Amino acid sequence: MLQQIIILLAIFISPQVFATDIPSSARAERSIASVEAVLRKGLSGKGLEYGSPIFIRIFKDPGVLEVWIESDNGAFVNFKNYDICTFSGNLGPKLKEGDNQSPEGFYFVNSGRLNPW
């Protein structure tokens, strides 16, 4: 699941804006190539554009990852939901390093935080 999330992040960040900033690798390029056509078709079917900003929302309970895409009018549209099978720890926030809790909160992922490996 984590690999799919990373692929989604790599795919949805606008290539026109960040093309020189996004780290890449042959593996990342192969992953993008394997899903790009289907992704473009799915986005187009909902009136959304490839490269538009995204918002990812994850709910530990009921175990769902939602992908929202910014539309032409600036509103975010729910593009797709994915079931997640597990998370570490229990419901509730991470309190300290090593407590086995999945972190909760808001995170901004820019090109500098992407890892092509």
State pLDDT tens for residues 61-113. Answer: 888 999 999 999 999 999 999 998 777 778 888 888 888 887 777 777 777 77
Query: In the Cβ-directed half-sphere of 18, how many Cα atoms lie within 13 Å?
Result: 19
Residue 3 CB contacts under 8 Å (≥ 6 apart), including other chains: 31
3-state class (DSSP) for residue 42? helix
Q: Is 35 helix (H, G, I), strand (E, B) or coil?
A: helix
Neighbouring-strand partners of residue 67: 56, 80
**Single-letter amino acid, residue 86:** T
Strands (E), the chain: 54-59, 64-70, 76-83
Other Cβ atoms less than 10 A from the Cβ of 114: the count is: 17
Global pTM reads: 0.68
